[in-house]
């Protein structure tokens, strides 16, 4: 699945530059100039990494990372003009995973993003996982799914949906979150399209919609991967 990065900076030119270099390396990028908007995007989209400027117009970057660290372990790379040793140490003490000072090399920043994701694992689970006592296998790297030893052919959307749900068994995902994860934050399609993909996914997994094992409906919210399937 494509890694997602949120870029938070009040300078449009910097956001555009960083987005360009990240997308060139295959990342999906969201961006904002607002600390409050950044916190909202993190809650709804759950990016794999956040690039965070400290000098934001509404909420300071320090406050943003304090709030993040109270609710999330998403990796954070600080990107700021504050270059003193005290600033760098302070940023790392707040919970940043790396600290890049302006002016900066976009290529170096992208390399640091990759290094942080390799070190922390991001907010998603990499590598093959098995569920339901080994009956269901999900391999994000190979983009393969197997059931009882047989390959299950899924569309890209169905596969990404299954990977997202199975990465956090028991966690309830709203339709908006699932659309954002699978189709992208700017996707303008109707959130209920998720229901169609879930219906097809259940059918391919042999999951009884009236009594499902793998993909459970959370009334009024969306879906979750059944905890009982994670044995």
Edge-to-edge strands of the sheet including 136-139?
Answer: 129-131, 136-139, 144-147, 150-151
Tens place of pLDDT per residue across the chain (231 aa): 578 999 999 999 999 999 999 999 999 899 999 999 999 998 888 888 999 998 898 988 889 988 887 777 788 999 888 767 777 777 777 788 888 988 899 999 999 999 888 776 544 444 567 787 778 988 887 888 999 889 999 888 888 889 888 887 888 888 877 877 676 544 444 556 788 889 999 999 999 888 888 999 999 888 999 865 555
Tokens of 99: 């600290």
pLDDT at 83: 67
The string of pLDDT tens digits covering residues 95-131 is 888 889 888 999 999 999 998 887 765 444 445 677 8
* 3-class state of residue 6 by DSSP: strand
pLDDT at 43: 84
pLDDT at 123: 43
pLDDT at 184: 53
Is 182 exposed, middle or buried (CB count within 10 Å of its CB: 0-12, 13-18, 19+)? buried
Distance CA 85, CA 11 (A): 24
3-state class percentages of the chain: helix first, strand second, coil last, to nearest 5: 40, 20, 40
Contact 58, 36 (CB under 8 A): yes
The string of pLDDT tens digits covering residues 171-186 is 888 887 787 767 654 4
pLDDT at 185: 40
pLDDT at 126: 45
């Amino acid at each position: 699945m494509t890694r997602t990065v949120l870029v938070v900076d009040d300078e449009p030119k910097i956001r555009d530059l960083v987005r360009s270099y990240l997308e060139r390396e295959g990342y999906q990028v969201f961006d904002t100039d607002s600390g409050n908007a950044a916190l909202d995007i993190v809650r709804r989209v759950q990016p794999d990494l956040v690039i965070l400027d400290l000098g934001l117009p509404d909420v300071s970057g320090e406050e943003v990372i304090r709030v993040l660290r109270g609710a999330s372990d998403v990796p954070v790379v600080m990107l700021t003009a504050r270059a003193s040793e005290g600033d760098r140490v302070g940023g790392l003490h707040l919970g940043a995973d790396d600290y890049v000072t302006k002016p900066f090399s976009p290529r170096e920043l992208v390399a640091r993003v990759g290094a942080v994701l390799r070190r922390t694992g991001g907010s998603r689970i990499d590598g093959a996982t098995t569920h339901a006592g080994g009956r269901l296998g999900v391999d994000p790297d190979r983009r393969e799914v197997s059931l009882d030893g047989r390959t299950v052919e899924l569309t890209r959307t169905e596969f990404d949906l299954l990977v997202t749900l199975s990465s956090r068994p028991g966690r309830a995902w709203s339709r908006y979150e699932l659309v954002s994860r699978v189709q992208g934050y700017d996707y303008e399609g109707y959130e209920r399209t998720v229901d169609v993909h879930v219906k097809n996914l259940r059918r391919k997994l042999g999951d009884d919609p009236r009594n499902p094992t793998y993909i459970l409906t959370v009334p009024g919210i969306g879906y979750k991967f059944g905890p009982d399937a994670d044995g």
